Amino acid sequence: MSVRTSAARPYSGTAFLKTTQEIILMITIKEVKTKKEQKQFIDFPLRLYKDNPYFVPPLYGDEKAMFKPDFTYNDCCEIINFLAFDGERVVGRIQGIVQKASNEKRHEKRVRFNRFDAIDSPEVAEKLFSAVEKWAITKGMDTVCGPLGFSDLEREGLLVEGFDQLSTFEEQYNAEYYGRLIEGLGYEKEVDWTESKIYPPENDDGSMKKMADFVMKRYNLHLGEAKNVNDFIKKYGDRFFEIIDKGYENLYGTVPFTEGMKAQIISAFKLIVDLKHVAIILNEKDEAVCIGVCFPSIARAVQKSQGKLTPAALIRLLKAIKHPTVIDLGLIAVEPSYLNRGVSAVVCSAVLDMLNNDGVEYAETNLNLEDNYAIQNQWKRFKEVKHKRRRAYVKKL
């Protein structure tokens, strides 16, 4: 146990936190139950990273929704949340999830950990993870893995490279010491994801466009059209989810869509998607065989308001949607029977068109599994800068 010094130094620019070398910790763990504790759980990372220029919060309302009786994932998940206190001060948090659909799909007995945030203290980390591990055992589980959310549509993976890069709105930022804390508790790497910045090729000779046109003609494909977002959902919504389910079925951590998940995606779709950033490819029967959905980056728009949709934040949000400088690559899925027909060239051509729009500087890929060679090779058509890496850990109990 360390001894308090007379010259306490703020941690990571946040005035309320100090390193473990400067404070005496008297750690207690509490399960989140009250409204006050729910607010403390949501607010902790906002305070921890208040002055961090790379941290981008989720929408505050979405985090509050986790504690509602009608929460989207209550039908397929068991959830528990813990806070770590040093006296009256919150110094860490963690969430445990039994994703029943995932366990049934893979014949596993796993608990996922997520929303782990803490000061740089092995003691705080040990007590938080111990709470989740003990809960996992009471649920008959034999493994803990993460960070993973309720589904792969949530933020996932621990940042292990790229700490000086702005997070996208879709992914979580964390300090560099998190990996050391987690690995010190016996957790090991299970999978890694990489993230890249994508720029137009330095010498664009038009080959990407030519290849896309060739594939479209060879397989009698054409682009789907819609008058607006509501029309798009009406025309292609069911097939949209079917293709993503098929395309993502064997990827790490994925689970089938429930009706609640679909409704959640549609709600987000209506909020931030502009149809000029969506590509849907149809066959001769007007059946969708490939979908690519990109989002204008809203990271800066929500950063200043700490995820709250204030009037000023809404103005910034609308500006980011209408005049994006960065595009986030969200969902790209191909009907399995078309995987080896070069359809990815059509998606790449569509991304290139987005990059060539006035004001757009680059696109961010978000998470790509390091061994998903089909998607990794796809970005080689562009000028690519791999700038982040994320990791999922696993530990047998």
Beta-carbon neighbour count of residue 60 at 10 Å?
Answer: 19
Mean pLDDT of the chain: 89
DSSP 171: S
Of all residues in the chain, the percent with pLDDT exceeding 70 is: 94
Task: State yes or no: pLDDT of 271 exceeds 90.
Answer: no
Closest CA relative to residue 226, chosen from 270, 265, 178: 270
Residue 150 near residue 360, CB atoms below 8 Å: no
At how many degrees (to 10) do helices 259-272 and 229-248 cross?
130
**Tens digits of residue pLDDT in 299-316:** 999 998 999 999 999 999
Q: Is 55 left (phi over 0), alpha (psi -120 to 50) or beta?
A: beta
pLDDT for the residue 239? 85
pLDDT for the residue 6? 24
d(CA 129, CA 146): 11
Q: Which helix (H) or strand (E) holds 84?
A: strand 77-86
7 versus 357: the higher-pLDDT residue is 357
State the pTM of this model: 0.90
- Tokens 């791999």 correspond to 386
pLDDT for the residue 268? 76
**Tens digits of residue pLDDT in 222-254:** 998 888 888 888 888 888 888 888 878 888 988
* Structural domains of the chain ordered from first start: 15-195 (3.40.630.30), 199-388 (3.40.630.30)
Tokens of 269: 């779709």
The alpha-carbon radius of gyration of the chain (Å, integer) is 22
Task: State yes or no: pLDDT of 9 exceeds 70.
Answer: no
**Tens digits of residue pLDDT in 204-218:** 888 889 999 999 999
- For residue 200, give the 3-state DSSP assignment: coil
**Tens digits of residue pLDDT in 80-125:** 999 999 999 999 999 999 999 999 999 999 999 999 999 999 999 9
Angle (nearest 5°) at CA 34 between 32 and 35? 110
